[in-house]
Amino acid sequence: MRQLPKLAAARPVGVIAASLLLVVGIFAVSGYDVGAIVAGTVDGSVGSAAAWTQTIRWAIPLLIIALGVGLAFQAGYFNIGAQGQMYVGAIGSLAVGLAWRDGPALVVVPCAFAVGIALGALWSLVPGLLRTRLGADEVVTSLMMNFIAVLLLEWVCTGPLKSRDGTGQAATTDPLPAGFRLSDGSGVSPTLLVLCALLVAGAVILTGRTRLGLEIRLVGRNPVMAQWMGIRASRVGLVVFALSGAAAGLAGAVEAYGPSGGLRVGFSPQVGFMAVIVALVAAFGPIRTLLAAVFFGALRAATIYLPIVSDLPQAGLDMLNGTVALWITVSAVPVLLKRRRARAAARAGDQSGEPARRDREVVSSRG
Amino acid sequence: MVDFVVTCLQAATPIWLAALAGMFAQRSGILHLGLEGLLLSGAFVATATAIRTGSILLAVGAAIVVNLLLSLLFWVLVTHFKANVLIVGLGLSMSAAGATGFALVAFFDTEAAIQSPIGLPRPLAGVGGPLAGLSVLTFAAFALTWVSWWVIRRTRAGLRLSACGSDPFAARSAGVPVDLYRMASLQVGGLLCALAGAELSLAQVRSFSDNIAQGRGYLAFAAVLLGGLAPIGVSVAAVFFGSALAFGIQSQLDFNDVLPPQFVLMLPYAATIAAISATVVVKRRRGEQPTLVMERTL
């Protein structure tokens, strides 16, 4: 059945509106001043130049990660390990910067970013290889890799890279030299905006204009047909795992060299998971991903701003994010589901010995 | 040594009960990432009710009621609205984390911890000895493990439940009401998570603080996979995870310089990845096709 594009766009908007109404209703029942909360949300996200800065600051990591994750989803791989990939990317890039403090920024920063991106990709290739070579479920393994990375970050911040002069409770690393930073504490700078624009443009070209983009879509739609057309699906799988991990690693490096200038235990919690929601809301289109990232970035900015102007606890808007997650896939997932079914059907055909031997080996190596 | 075993059991009980919940859900074909949220909601409702009413029975009862409703919501979204089971589960966990933090401020006007005047009964407290510190739910966990084993291995309903997970289409063809079995197992899971939450907040610390579960729900989820969906295996895995948790805290105190506690705490997750990969390899050797979680659940 042909789906009307308007309807497809209306669904995520409807889900978000319904979640907003529900959560605001809960605030009203709990006796909070709804008018003040709504006004505070608008003020904190789009009401002033400072608010817009905050919104963009949070939209940047969401956008970078969601662009990568969207590629993996498009190929039918449910990589949900972005949070961990972001953490190892941040750790790797920070370690380079701290170890080579005296080096020229024009050499050190690109090296650090390369290391961060590579580590993110490697972290993602663990579930990727287990999935494409063995057939182990990437959903579970990538989730487990997240928890390992969280602990790794905790160890790095309390052990090897711990700040000597830190006095507070929260463990942090040493700050990077100011010359290495890509932005100040606000997290928005021309460099970062240009980087984001390049990434969106790259994603548009990759998905719409290149052979790889076509292969990703074909593999996602029907892996068996893709095999018959001569596409090596397991290689495409590895590529999307590496790309999504690289994007998350880049987001980690941006965090370390941009707004934070250092790292602390459990920084940017839930960004990896929010990026998954962004990618699902946007249905993987790069421009739509940009819009969705700005929306959720605005929400995040409002979450941080609200406790200042109202007595509403920050947890109140965290609830909103969770509620959106609860409903959002009601509309977004049939796409993924269809792909999974296609793959299940593909395997059924594989078992009956339908394809020629050479193809069968390739198909089963994909799991 | 006995003391350390008791500490491990205390640390393991919430994970253990939640893992049994996850096992039932997964046997029926639903991957339950909402365990963390149900743990949090159970812990909060139990503590809040204990403070307001002073009755431990009402506290546990209220936690069970709330968790049954949340599990019902989970079921409706997954089966009737065809939502992605993993995202809904994570969303449930996120919402519960936000909602309990919000309710802490809305009802008790604090962002720190709320103290409960009462705790769970300790059956052996009168007898004394090393086991005196264990709450009634630790003993219940042993009993519930045996009950789960009996239901799954020895009853018709248990067999059908497993069929819903391993081959829902065949189960449907054989006349098994798959969706109803899934609801039943999710409801049992809600109940078990309410007990787990009560154990978490009312057994030792007798208080609820923001995000008290700290990932124990995800550990339980991992224990289900590591234990291979078998009641005994899942319980052993959960106790192993609980011990790793206790040992991680212990090692922080004892030999922080030799072995950072974070590496001990990584063990459960690494073990789960290894176990999943090994299972798949073994299945391949036997000539079976490994099923992916997503296909099994949708």
CA distance linking residue B120 with residue B201, whole number of Å: 9
Minimum distance, in Å, between the CA of residue B92 and any CA atom of chain A:
6
Give B198 or A334, the one with higher predicted confidence. B198
Which among B296, B27, B291, B29 is positioned nearest to B158, based on CA atoms? B27
Q: Which of B33, B77, B94, B247 to mutate to test the interface with A (most CBs of A within 10 A)?
A: B94
Domains and CATH numbers, chain B: 2-297 (1.10.3470)
Quote the mean pLDDT of chain A: 82
pLDDT band at A351 (very low <50, low <70, confident <90, very high): very low
Domain boundaries, chain A: 5-365
Maximum mean pLDDT: which of A39-48, A161-170, A314-323, B35-44: B35-44
Give the pLDDT score at A338.
58
Helical residues (DSSP H) of chain A, grouped into ranges: 5-29, 34-45, 49-74, 82-99, 105-129, 138-158, 190-209, 211-221, 223-228, 233-255, 271-282, 286-309, 315-351, 357-365
Averaged pLDDT for residues A130-137 = 87
Average pLDDT over residues A283-294: 89
Produce one character per residue of B124-155: b if its CB has 16 or more CB atoms within 10 Å, e if not: eeeeeeebebbbbbbbbbeebbeebeebbeee
B204 against A198, higher pLDDT: A198
pLDDT one-digit tens code per residue, B75-97: 999 888 878 787 889 889 989 99
**What is the identity of the amino acid at A332?**
A
Closest by CA to A282, choosing from A235, A320, A335, is A335
> What share of chain A in percent tops pLDDT 90?
34
Q: Say which CATH class A5-365 falls into.
A: mainly alpha
DSSP state of B113: E
Structure token pair of residue A269: 């919690």
pLDDT category at A6 given cuts 50, 70, 90 is: very low
Query: Which pLDDT belongs to residue A89?
Result: 96
A280 — phi, psi (to 5°)?
-70, -40
Q: Using 50, 70 and 90 to split pLDDT, how confident is the model at A87? A: very high
Please report which residue ranges of A30-104 form alpha helices under DSSP H.
34-45, 49-74, 82-99
B100: how many CB neighbours lie within 10 A of its CB?
Answer: 27
Chains A–B, number of C-beta pairs less than 8 Å apart? 170
Q: What is the pLDDT of residues A259-277, one digit of tens each?
A: 888 888 888 888 888 898 8
Q: According to the model, what pLDDT value does residue A246 have?
A: 97
Cβ of B82 and A332 within 8 Å?
no
Average pLDDT over residues A302-323: 79
Instruction: Please judge whether A315 and B77 are an interchain contact, meaning their C-beta atoms are less than 8 angstroms apart.
Output: no
**Residue contact B87–A143, C-beta within 8 A:** no
Does the beta carbon of B70 lie under 8 angstroms from any beta carbon of chain A? no
What was the ipTM of the complex prediction? 0.80
Q: Are B52 and B235 in contact (CB under 8 A)?
A: no
Instruction: Return the C-alpha torsion angle A340, A346, A349, A350, nearest 10.
Output: -110
Report residue A20 as tokens. Answer: 């907003």
pLDDT digits (tens, 9 = 90+) for B213-241: 888 998 899 899 888 889 999 999 999 88
Confidence of residue A53 (pLDDT cuts 50, 70, 90): very high
Pick from A137, A148, A280: CB nearest B293? A137
Please check the confidence at residue A139 and state whether its pLDDT lies above 90: no
pLDDT tens for B268-292 read 889 889 988 888 888 888 876 655 5
Out of A276, A324, A340, closest to residue B294 by CB: A340
Strand stretches in B30-128, DSSP E = 113-115
pLDDT value of residue B86: 78
Q: A224 vs A192, which has greater pLDDT? A: A192
Does B266 sit within 8 Å of A152, measured CB to CB?
A: yes
The mean pLDDT of A179-200, rounded to a whole number, is: 89
Query: For residue B155, is it left (φ>0), alpha (ψ between -120 and 50) or beta?
Result: beta
What is the DSSP annotation of A170-199?
S-BBPPPPGGG-SS-TT---HHHHHHHHHH
Q: Which of A63-77, A132-146, B137-151 has the lowest mean pLDDT?
A: A132-146
- Number of C-beta neighbours around residue A214 at 10 A: 15
| Residue ranges of B 73-102 with Cβ closer than 8 A to chain A | 77, 81-84, 86-88, 90-102
CB nearest A340 (choices: B104, B222, B295): B295
Q: Average pLDDT, stretch A187-200? A: 92
- Count of other CB atoms within 10 angstroms of residue A114: 16
pLDDT at A305: 85
B262:A151 CB<8 A: yes
- A322 vs A238: which has the higher pLDDT: A238
pLDDT band at A346 (very low <50, low <70, confident <90, very high): low
Q: List the single best residue of B95, B110, B286 to mutate versus A (max A Cβ within 10 A).
A: B95
Using pLDDT thresholds of 50, 70 and 90, give the confidence band for residue A355: very low
